[in-house]
Amino acid sequence: MIKVGIVGGTGYTGVELLRLLAQHPEAELRAITSRKEAGMPVSDMYPSLRGRVALKFVEPAAAGLSSCDVVFFATPNGIAMREARALLDAGVKVIDLAADFRIKDVALWERWYGMQHACPDLIAEAVYGLPELNRDKIKGARLVANPGCYPTAAQLGFLPLVEAGLGDLTHLVADCKSGVSGAGRKAEVHTLFSEASDNFKAYAVSGHRHLPEIRQGLEIMAGKPVNLTFVPHLTPLIRGIHATLYVRLDGEVDLQSLYEKRFANEYFVDVLPAGAHPETRSVRGSNLCRIAVHRPQGGNVVVILSVIDNLTKGAAGQAVQNMNILFGFPENLGLQQIPLLP
């Protein structure tokens, strides 16, 4: 049994972590922090956890996080980078669900996130937590940078083709859609029901913070630079990511076989039969990524469809998957939930 702490447990990724960890047979929740809600029972804020999580939110200083085995940061960008070092020095493993340690180029990170990084030396040490790509590195890590939701869906979809060197890397396109929970729990006009319902729109076309993260991952897979166009969209869904990815084929290959073989031993990646069209509801509430690969009219453009739940495989579920790897548990332990339908 490992002792677990969560910093910032009041947001959507925080409650998703709580939902999953409360069902994990080897995890003991020790502390959940919130400066604003300190003293409030967790189940008062999230009645779904009544009878499953008996803890109250506590001030970070009173949480005793240094006595935990692992601490998750489910906080806004810029928090973990200021607090991770003390925990690492105390022998605690850290999994950051924000973006503080994802991008290796510090100057690039500072440009996209608009702040000075507090511990650039830890960026070099941090392991990017996409298990299907970095499993062996994650096993020996102290600090895991949990991937973003769009980057998870996009990178898993592109992975087999890019890794095999069969795609034209000068013109990759990721056309991605997200549910409104991806914007977090804070109150903002664009996520109000009257604004987001019955509506569909692109945003951040000139540049989204997940662009350098996706591009970095693809360049590591390819071993050379890539040119990526990434356009995110907001959809009237609560949960879900749908990534439609376009690659010009550079060589002949049995696409279905390529994808099935690459993910054959990946518990959380489901390659659907040829001609299938995965739906976001087929993964809702689960840690699964479902992928289908198409070659319309037998042409030279490959279309990959990749769907995940943005709060699970795109955030908290993948973080628990990384925790399992860090501590030598079966990778699917506590993560075998069947998707919710309808």
Sequence-separated (6 or more) residues with CB below 8 Å from residue 112: 103, 207, 209, 212
What pLDDT does 257 receive? 98
What pLDDT does 251 receive? 85
DSSP lists the bridge partners of residue 12 as: none
Q: Please give the positions annotated as active site.
A: 149
What pLDDT does 186 receive? 84
Domains and CATH numbers, the chain: 2-125 (3.40.50.720), 150-310 (3.30.360.10)
What pLDDT does 171 receive? 95
Dist CA 126 CA 94 (whole Å): 10
Q: Which residue has the tokens 């501590």?
A: 327
SS (H, E, C) 130-157: CHHHHHHHHHCCCEEECCCHHHHHHHHH
Sequence-separated (6 or more) residues with CB below 8 Å from residue 13: 74, 97, 311, 315, 316
Contact call for residues 340 and 285 (beta carbons, < 8 A): yes
For the chain (length 342 residues), average pLDDT per consecutive 10?
Answer: 96 96 98 94 96 96 96 97 98 98 97 97 97 98 98 98 96 97 89 93 96 98 97 97 97 95 98 98 98 96 98 98 98 97 90
